[in-house]
Structure 1
Amino acid sequence: MKKFEIFLSYNWCDSDIADNIKNFFEKNTDINIHQDKIDIKKWSSIREYMQSIPEMDYTILLISDAYLKSSNCMYEVLEVMRDRKYKEKIFPVVIDKKIYDPIVRTKYVKYWQDEFNKLDENLSEINYQNIGNLGSNLKHIQNIAANIAEFLDLITSINNPEISDVCVAIENKLREKNFIAVKRENNDDIFKRIGISLEKEDIEITDWEMDKFILDCFKIINKLMFELCESLEAKCNINVNKMEKDSETYIYQFYKNGKLIKSIKIFLSRFLENMSIGISDNVDFISGNNSWNGMYTVKNVNNKLFLKSELFMNDVEKNMSSEDVVKDIYEKYIKFYLK
């Protein structure tokens, strides 16, 4: 049976997290986890080993500040990106959540741009015939500077699981693709041997799962709203105040020529039995009262969860994703005021 080869890319500052991930997957006989400090023998070529990364089935990336400033770690990223389908073959683990801020992402681009300029300036003082392999180092740093923005844009556009959940999330993803079998403890072996299934034929989605779905969508929607507001500021000559009032309430205020033209609030609430996402242009900072102009609730379609609009009759039948909701918010509550 084929084993799935997964490369673990990390900075040694994050060795504890890397070791925990490796220890978790050692229990699964369908998976081989590759770590540089284990796989690379003494006095073996580090670069030759890194060049084997595209041959792996998947790569786990532990992304931290130290990782993004490491030449070796970014070499591994560039090797991953050589595969045209690399976006489908990575499992990002975001340790430093600051990278979701576009201003922070630009700092990493500038960091590698500055590293290139420093090395280039020093090389300019050396005769060409004496440069040796330093020219390759310069080209490598230039490649990092040229690609890190694209890499970070991809990572921050993904709904990445928390570090505590990442191992189970990876295993579940591989099971969804039928790459690995469902593993059971030894005391379940008798059921497998004689063909008894312990699974329910009709699996009902629980209230907890629906509320968790709404919470996850709420986070994604506001992350996308922050990105949308950044782009609107750049392209539409407006300013936007983006405020996280608390973990359940986000405020967006839109200004044109310095004048407030629109405020909206996106918040979590409980509608009937399950959680919902509300939209309001009644931005009351003092009382915190929430009146709905729009509402999105969970919709179960054949045991698959979607969002749906509750207050606009022509939208009730639509199965919506988080992206659809952000587009809906823009069309219904923002677009008109930008004219």
Structure 2
Amino acid sequence: MNQIYISYAWKDNSELGSKREELVDKISEALISERYNLIRDRNYLTLGKSIHNFMQEIGRGNYVIVVVSEKYLRSEYCMFEAVEIMKHKDYEQKVFPVILEDANIYTKEGKSEYIKYWKQQREKIEKLIASELSDREYSAMHDVAEKIIEIYGKVDELISFISDKLSIDPSKNFNAFINQLTDAIRNDAAKLRSQKSILVAGTGNFNIPDEVNWCAQKLGEKIAEYNYNLITGGWQGVDYVVADKFAEKIAQKNLRLTDKLTHVVPRGKQPVFKGGKVEYTESGINEWLDCLRHSDLVILVGGVGGTYETYLYAKQEKIPVIPIVCTNGDAKKVFDEMLVNWDSKLMGNISTDKFKSLNQYINDASTAEDVVNDVMDIVNEIIFAKIMLNL
């Protein structure tokens, strides 16, 4: 699960400290209201928690808001957090600095003053260890010295980074700052789609109704366009049509089909669509369970029995299901049943009203595409919630 950390100087009862705390509170409230998994050391560091481990955890965090103030830049605790963050190769894309007015980092003199300060701190601690602790193999002061030496070695790089990175000041344009952060997270989520797989199940014969055929074709195209992987049971009908259209789009993207498409079929059988990767399983319950083992989400199109069983096993395995209700059959049955027993958390907190909006009429390929676009909007929201939010 992705997390957002806030690194800032707290335990400050001054007027500036109170304003800083108010700003961090406001940022926290806005992100929590959007269900992001937010962590602040003020709330995290209860009795028994390791400060050192927490600082390293911040460094490994997916996103970090660094609230830079005069106190932050002269705090051993805060600056060590910053050093841990910088140890990760992609920190430039994951860090969102907030530069407060008292942080003098935009002038040559200001930068030099902070570098000079940490040089003096290093010299003091080295002198102390050399004169008073030289006869001891180890003490807590040695750990402090290592941290300060490390901070001094990184302070120039840190100040240059935060002063050069374009960032919106939330104290002046709060909504724009929150949008900048959440847009970056959503862009990362889009990249992570390539690691997520969608199982499409539906009518398993070639004599499928037009609305089922149109939806299966558009699904194959859209799943590929959004860069998800596709899982099928290798049947004729919906499985074949969705795989065929999916393969066409994957070829246009110059990707290997075996990396993106998997058919799970009983031993001794072959998938009707010839292409992609084949995984064999035992007949019976494993045909469903092994398909679901690969899947992050299930979409149902029509169906006359086996599709409903897919839903039952997916429900058992806590995998979200989206039935395209207007393709009727099992999909309509599942749609009605899901509304009666709505599981908001499993469905990424999608509202029932949004889910009900899928109940549209299909009379041609164009209206089928509209429905599939709405389906994929919900798919993306559910996947985003599963990998990015505190759900």
Q: TM-score, normalised by structure 2?
A: 0.45
RMSD: 2.7
Letter in 2 for 1:194: S
Change (3 A) 1:162 1:111: same
Deviation at residue 120 of structure 1 after TM alignment: 2.1
- CA distance change for structure 1 residues 126 and 34 in 2, over 3 Å: closer, same or farther? same
Give 1:78's aligned amino acid.
V
Q: Which has the higher contact order (CA 8 A, sep 6+)?
A: 2
Q: Percent identity?
A: 22
Q: After the TM superposition, which parts of structure 1 deviate over 4 Å for at least 4 consecutive aligned residues? A: none
- Pick from 186, 190, 194 the counterpart of residue 357 of structure 2: 194
Query: Aligned runs of 1:130-149 on 2, under 5 Å?
Result: 130=136, 132-149=139-156
CA distance in 1, matches of 2:126, 2:104: 29
- Distance (whole Å) between structure 2 residues aligned to residue 49 and residue 162 of structure 1: 26
Shift in Å at residue 64 of structure 1? 0.8
Q: Distance in 1 between matches of 2:88 and 2:76?
A: 19
Alignment partner of 1:113 is 2:119 = yes
In structure 2, C-alpha distance between the alignment counterparts of 1:134 and 1:157, rounded to whole Å: 34
Partner of 1:71: 76
Distance in 1 (CA, whole Å) between partners of 2:142 and 2:127 is 12
Residue in 2 that maps onto 1:26: 32
Give the match for residue 125 of structure 1. Answer: 131
1:1-339 equivalences under 5 Å are 3-12=1-10, 13=17, 14-29=20-35, 31-96=36-101, 98-130=104-136, 132-163=139-170, 164=174, 165-178=176-189, 190=353, 193-195=356-358
Distance 1:189 1:75, change over 3 A: same
TM norm structure 1? 0.51
The amino acid across from 1:49 in the alignment is F
C-alpha contact (below 8 Å) 2:70/2:104 kept by paired residues: no
The alpha-carbon deviation at position 129 of structure 1 amounts to 3.0
Shift of 1:20: 1.2
Flag the structure with higher helix content. Answer: 2
Question: Which SS does the other structure have where 1:34 is aligned?
Answer: strand
Amino acid in the other structure paired with 1:141 = I
**Paired position in structure 1 for 2:317:** none
Match of 1:83, SS state, is coil
One-letter amino acid of the structure 1 residue matched with residue 182 of structure 2: E
Number of residues of Structure 1 aligned to a counterpart in Structure 2? 190
1:114, 1:98 → 2: CA distance?
A: 18
- Deviation string 1:203-237 (CA, Å, 9 cap, x unpaired) is xxxxxxxxxxxxxxxxxxxxxxxxxxxxxxxxxxx
1:99 Cα offset (Å): 1.1
Can you list the C-alpha shifts for 1:105-163, whole angstroms capped at 9, x where unaligned? 11110010011112222223214234612122112111111101111111111111012
2:357 partner amino acid: I
Q: How far 1:191 sits from its partner (Å)?
A: 5.5
